[in-house]
Structure 1
Amino acid sequence: MSVERGPKSLHEHNKSLLYSNRPKFKEDIRENIYLDKIRNDGIGIDRIDENQLKKVITQIRLNAKKELYRQYKMLTVSIFIAIVIMIFLKDYLDQRF
């Protein structure tokens, strides 16, 4: 008899674990979201000096220009290599046929 009750109770246990039978809400998150006070759990905002801000912005622009220049150099080199390969391939195929 215990063999017959085992799978049935296991089946009932598995059925209780289904997602549809789980509770929909947790008890500890039912707080009011509209509060009049400022939350302190985020990142604090510090005042930054105007000169330091301008310095950081110019540094970012300089880095962006350097990166753009580097990408243009890479594009030029890759186009040059592609053209050289095409010329050698054309000469090779012209000699072959």
Structure 2
Amino acid sequence: DEADRMLDVGFRPQIQRIARACGTKRQTALYTATLTKGVRELAQSILQDPVNIGLAEPDTIPETIQHNLVFCDSHEHKLEVLDLMLTKSNMRQAL
């Protein structure tokens, strides 16, 4: 999982060494939410006939997602805004 993060922290040599040690008769799966150039290059170096399964177009945001930004100037103001958001809005999820 998160193949891009494994590359970011420098695990490419270890991944390639493990793949070589396992031989060619193996099943390997790489999972990542962001298919970077580095992940594509790693896949080419350790996979045979890789299959890419994409779940969404890159840089797309579903129309049902709404983004809001509220600046709060104090802790009390933040609590008031949070209370309003939770009690007066019809949102089902928040992050």
Q: TM-score, normalised by structure 2?
A: 0.17
Q: Specify the structure having the higher radius of gyration (Cα).
A: 1
Q: Which has the higher contact order (CA 8 A, sep 6+)?
A: 2
More helix by share: 1
Q: TM-score, normalised by structure 1?
A: 0.17
